[in-house]
Structure 1
Amino acid sequence: MTMNALTASAAALFFNHDGEVLIVNPTYKDHWNLPGGAVDIEQGENPYDAAVREVREELGITPPIGRLLVHAWLTVPGRGAQVLYVFDGGVLDHDTQAAITLQASELSEYRFCPPHGMEDGLIPPHLAGVWQQALIAHAEDRITYVPVRL
């Protein structure tokens, strides 16, 4: 990120029938994450379309993406900010799960984990609160704003 840059990312929160959350292991980061990625602002892409595109590219599936769960603002002192949107991906049926084909250039693996297991060092520590707020927003059928200062 360049000095005083503003970037935007979008992700989807998916569950299996056991209530576990789908997380992916990026090849270029130290932690697991939700499927998603950068919003292509220069191409006029909006966050919802970015979430749909990223899921298709990273997982090879096109399940319906639902409503916004979280709008997070991550401030990085001296560097800028990142806006993160998390959308509700709903429950993936068995056929959709079986159709997952990882984008090998970006992801090494995926798994479903219990929601409380997302905090055990798997995900970026600064995003733990964002993911927990996404789980709460999903359960309570609401949208949440989460400010994060790094």
Structure 2
Amino acid sequence: MSTPRPATLNASAAALFFNNEGSALIVNPTYKDHWNLPGGGVEIGLGETPYDAAVREVREEIGITPPIGRLLVTAWLSLGTKGAQLLYIFDGGVLSAEDEAAITLQESELSEYRFCPPHGLEPGLMPPHLTEVWQAALAARSECRTEFVSVRL
């Protein structure tokens, strides 16, 4: 009889930024098939908070340090027997023209970035399981609230 492996729990944090025209910033990771928000893993073993991870990941991935605002969404992504992923999305607000001009991609992880209409993402641009999370983040920002989302993969 084999011993069952314990399920794992991972956490990621990201920030949702906009430009002055109301379009959202997304990035294209070189190691994934879909675009995403700037962000990445929370270094739990080092005592990093999701907020601190969002600030660090934004600085590492796109080279800027704008103020990161309040939590918009906490998402629980159930991975079945593999465990779960916690995703925290924070409000990055509207980037200044200076921050936009200063965006410098972490070339080892990102191939490009762009601003896109938040409610008009092209089909297939984002992972299907994150569509509900994306919609919740947009609603939470526009309605000044925090949202919890649970998704089973």
Q: TM-score, normalised by structure 2?
A: 0.95
Instruction: Report the CA distance between 1:118 and its aligned residue.
Output: 2.7
Instruction: Report the CA distance between 1:25 and its aligned residue.
Output: 0.1
Instruction: Report the CA distance between 1:138 and its aligned residue.
Output: 0.2
- The alignment status of 1:106 with 2:103, answered yes or no, reads no
The residue aligned with 1:50 is 53
**Structure 2 Cα separation of the partners of residues 3 and 90 of structure 1:** 38
The residue aligned with 1:122 is 125
- Partner-residue secondary structure (3-state), 1:116: coil
- Residue-pair matches, total: 149
Preserved contact between residue 67 and residue 87 of structure 1 (Cα < 8 Å): yes
The residue aligned with 2:93 is 90
Instruction: Report the CA distance between 1:119 and its aligned residue.
Output: 5.2
**Structure 1 Cα separation of the partners of residues 122 and 77 of structure 2:** 18
**Structure whose alpha-carbon radius of gyration is higher:** 2
**Structure 2 Cα separation of the partners of residues 37 and 91 of structure 1:** 20
Query: Of residues 131, 136, 147 in structure 2, which corresponds to 1:133?
Result: 136
- Partner-residue secondary structure (3-state), 1:121: coil
> What's the RMSD between the two structures over aligned residues?
1.0
The residue aligned with 1:142 is 145
Amino acid corresponding to residue 29 of structure 1 in structure 2: K
Post-superposition CA distance 1:39-93 (Å, at most 9, x none):
0001110000000000000000000000000000000111000000000000001
Task: Flag as ranges the 4+ runs of structure 1 deviating above 3 A.
Answer: none
Amino acid corresponding to residue 136 of structure 1 in structure 2: A
**Structure 2 Cα separation of the partners of residues 139 and 53 of structure 1:** 25
Instruction: Report the CA distance between 1:117 and its aligned residue.
Output: 2.5
Instruction: Report the CA distance between 1:143 and its aligned residue.
Output: 0.1
Which consecutive residues of structure 1, in runs of 5 or more, have no partner in the other structure?
none
Which consecutive residues of structure 2, in runs of 5 or more, have no partner in the other structure?
none
**Structure 1 Cα separation of the partners of residues 120 and 32 of structure 2:** 19
**Among the aligned pairs, what percent are the same residue?**
71
- The alignment status of 1:19 with 2:36, answered yes or no, reads no
Instruction: Report the CA distance between 1:3 and its aligned residue.
Output: 5.1
Preserved contact between residue 24 and residue 109 of structure 1 (Cα < 8 Å): yes
The residue aligned with 2:72 is 69
**Structure 2 Cα separation of the partners of residues 123 and 3 of structure 1:** 29
